[in-house]
Amino acid sequence: MSSGRSRVPKKITEEEINDLISRLQALVPERRTESLSRASASVVLKETCNYIRRLHRELDSLNEQLAHLLENMDSSGAEAEIIKNLLM
Protein backbone atom coordinates (compact mmCIF):
# COMPACT_ATOMS: atom_id res chain seq x y z
CA MET A 1 0.00 0.00 0.00
CA SER A 2 1.12 3.51 -0.69
CA SER A 3 1.94 5.64 2.29
CA GLY A 4 1.54 8.84 0.28
CA ARG A 5 5.27 9.43 0.15
CA SER A 6 7.01 9.59 -3.19
CA ARG A 7 9.74 7.07 -3.88
CA VAL A 8 13.27 8.38 -3.90
CA PRO A 9 14.89 7.35 -7.16
CA LYS A 10 17.94 5.14 -6.94
CA LYS A 11 21.14 7.10 -7.50
CA ILE A 12 22.94 6.08 -10.62
CA THR A 13 26.61 5.29 -10.19
CA GLU A 14 29.45 6.69 -12.26
CA GLU A 15 30.13 3.16 -13.51
CA GLU A 16 26.52 2.86 -14.74
CA ILE A 17 26.79 6.23 -16.50
CA ASN A 18 30.04 5.17 -18.18
CA ASP A 19 28.43 1.92 -19.27
CA LEU A 20 25.43 3.77 -20.75
CA ILE A 21 27.71 6.24 -22.58
CA SER A 22 29.74 3.33 -23.99
CA ARG A 23 26.59 1.61 -25.19
CA LEU A 24 25.35 4.85 -26.74
CA GLN A 25 28.72 5.42 -28.38
CA ALA A 26 28.42 2.01 -30.06
CA LEU A 27 25.03 2.95 -31.56
CA VAL A 28 26.01 6.24 -33.21
CA PRO A 29 27.56 5.64 -36.65
CA GLU A 30 30.15 8.43 -36.30
CA ARG A 31 31.43 6.83 -33.13
CA ARG A 32 31.50 3.30 -34.56
CA THR A 33 33.58 4.28 -37.58
CA GLU A 34 36.17 6.18 -35.58
CA SER A 35 38.97 4.45 -33.78
CA LEU A 36 38.12 2.72 -30.56
CA SER A 37 39.27 5.73 -28.56
CA ARG A 38 36.81 6.79 -25.91
CA ALA A 39 35.27 10.18 -26.32
CA SER A 40 34.05 12.26 -23.43
CA ALA A 41 30.43 11.85 -22.42
CA SER A 42 29.62 15.34 -23.64
CA VAL A 43 31.03 14.58 -27.12
CA VAL A 44 29.07 11.32 -27.34
CA LEU A 45 25.86 13.03 -26.23
CA LYS A 46 26.37 15.91 -28.68
CA GLU A 47 27.02 13.51 -31.58
CA THR A 48 23.99 11.45 -30.57
CA CYS A 49 21.76 14.55 -30.61
CA ASN A 50 23.12 15.53 -34.03
CA TYR A 51 22.52 11.99 -35.31
CA ILE A 52 18.93 11.99 -34.03
CA ARG A 53 18.29 15.40 -35.65
CA ARG A 54 19.69 14.06 -38.94
CA LEU A 55 17.43 11.00 -38.71
CA HIS A 56 14.41 13.27 -38.11
CA ARG A 57 15.28 15.35 -41.20
CA GLU A 58 15.73 12.19 -43.25
CA LEU A 59 12.39 10.84 -42.03
CA ASP A 60 10.65 14.12 -42.88
CA SER A 61 12.15 14.03 -46.37
CA LEU A 62 11.06 10.44 -46.93
CA ASN A 63 7.55 11.26 -45.70
CA GLU A 64 7.35 14.16 -48.16
CA GLN A 65 8.53 11.94 -51.00
CA LEU A 66 5.99 9.27 -50.10
CA ALA A 67 3.17 11.81 -49.87
CA HIS A 68 4.14 13.16 -53.30
CA LEU A 69 4.18 9.66 -54.78
CA LEU A 70 0.79 8.83 -53.29
CA GLU A 71 -0.70 12.09 -54.58
CA ASN A 72 0.49 11.36 -58.11
CA MET A 73 -0.55 7.72 -58.06
CA ASP A 74 -3.88 6.58 -59.46
CA SER A 75 -5.82 6.05 -56.23
CA SER A 76 -7.87 3.28 -57.80
CA GLY A 77 -4.78 1.36 -58.91
CA ALA A 78 -3.61 -1.85 -57.33
CA GLU A 79 -0.18 -0.37 -56.51
CA ALA A 80 -1.73 2.48 -54.52
CA GLU A 81 -3.92 0.06 -52.59
CA ILE A 82 -0.94 -2.15 -51.73
CA ILE A 83 1.10 0.82 -50.52
CA LYS A 84 -1.76 2.20 -48.47
CA ASN A 85 -2.34 -1.20 -46.87
CA LEU A 86 1.34 -1.51 -46.03
CA LEU A 87 1.33 1.90 -44.38
CA MET A 88 -1.72 1.16 -42.21
Tens of pLDDT along the chain (88 residues) come to: 455 567 878 898 999 998 999 898 888 887 665 655 677 889 889 999 999 999 999 999 998 888 887 777 766 677 777 777 777 6
Q: How far apart are CA 66 and CA 58, in angstroms?
A: 12
Residue-range domain boundaries for the chain = 14-87
Nearest C-alpha neighbor of 84 from the set 23, 41, 71, 5: 71
Could you read off the pLDDT of 5-18 as tens digits, one per residue?
A: 678 788 989 999 98
Radius of gyration of the chain measured on its C-alpha atoms: 22
Nearest 5 degrees, angle CA 38-CA 43-CA 48? 105
The pTM of this model reads 0.65
